[in-house]
Amino acid sequence: MAVESSTLVRVEALTKEFYLDGETIRVLKAIDLEVAAGERLAICGESGAGKSTLLQIMGTLDKPTGGRVLHGGQDVFRWSVDRLAAWRNAHIGFVFQFHHLLPEFTALENVMIPAMIQGAGRKSAGERARRILERVGLENRLRHKPGELSGGEQQRVALARALVLNPPLILADEPTGNLDLKNSLEVENLLLEFNREFDLALVIVTHSQRLAQRMDKIIYLEDGSVRKVCPQ
């Protein structure tokens, strides 16, 4: 099937099953969706609907049981583990509800990690990390470790880490779920600012209707299936 040049991610007939005590549990059921370059997509639904599982498979952190995930028209799950990991590091930025920062490293060092994995030298990686941390308002927190930062600051470090290689796609799983209103709005505004400035696509799993309404499109999952799609 030909993929239009503007289509960044295409999910085709995606299924995911788990096996528990001899029983098959279908978490995702024949999901079809597309994400265009620069598009903002919210995935909503009740807890247990399959939202996070779908996001993890789109980000190649988990494998589907059936169907395909095409990134730029390529079936990435056909690649070797090493090739897929290197591609994922360069092309997808992840932001989770829990920031997953390494506690022994400073904010600057945490943000440097994707660039160093890609092969950048410490000086180059540090310069990239410093620039993006300044953009998210943390120029005075570069040498602070996660335990010395507020929850909102930690999430902005995680956002900077996701953005440091300027990937075309950001996948965020409840990125404001642990934050108060002020910090939630700061993170939301930063995500939208980078979306506009760099034309990166955003796919966000969220229970926040306020955040969902700021996206271009909302997909509602129910019991592992797409219940409805709402263009904004």
Q: How confident is the model over 159-189, as pLDDT tens digits?
A: 999 999 999 999 999 888 878 898 889 889 9
202-220 pLDDT, tens digit per residue, is: 999 998 888 999 999 999 9
Average pLDDT of 131-145?
Answer: 93
Residue 223: predicted pLDDT = 84
Q: Is residue 2 part of a domain?
A: no
pLDDT digits (tens, 9 = 90+) for 83-117: 999 999 989 999 887 778 999 999 999 999 999 98
* DSSP code at position 151: H
Beginning with the edge strand found earlier in the chain, give each strand of the sheet holding 40-45 in spatial order.
92-96, 169-173, 201-205, 40-45, 217-222, 225-231
Could you give the number of structural domains in the chain? 1
Residue 71 lies inside a defined structural domain of this protein: yes
The reply to whether 1 falls in a domain is no
Whether 89 is in a domain gets the answer: yes
For range 128-138, the mean pLDDT:
93
In terms of Cβ atoms closer than 10 Å to its own Cβ (0-12, 13-18, 19+), residue 64 is buried
User: How is residue 21 written in tokens?
Assistant: 């005590």
The burial class, CB within 10 Å (0-12 / 13-18 / 19+), for 24 is: exposed
Both tokens of residue 147? 């335990």
Among the residues of the chain, which ranges form H helices? Answer: 51-58, 81-91, 107-118, 122-135, 151-163, 181-198, 209-212
Q: Provide the token pair at 3.
A: 């993929």
DSSP letters along 64-102, please?
Answer: -SEEEEEETTEEGGGS-HHHHHHHHHHHEEEEESS----
CATH at 12: 3.40.50.300
**What is the rounded distance in angstroms from the CA atom of residue 205 to the CA atom of residue 34?**
15
Residue 122 structural domain: 7-231
Q: Is residue 214 part of a domain?
A: yes
Residues in CB range of 231: below 8 A, 6 or more apart: 216, 217
13 close to 68: Cβ distance less than 8 angstroms: yes
- Name the residue with tokens 């583990």: 81
> Distance from CA of residue 133 to its chain's centroid?
18
Query: Count of CB atoms within 10 A of residue 1's CB?
Result: 7
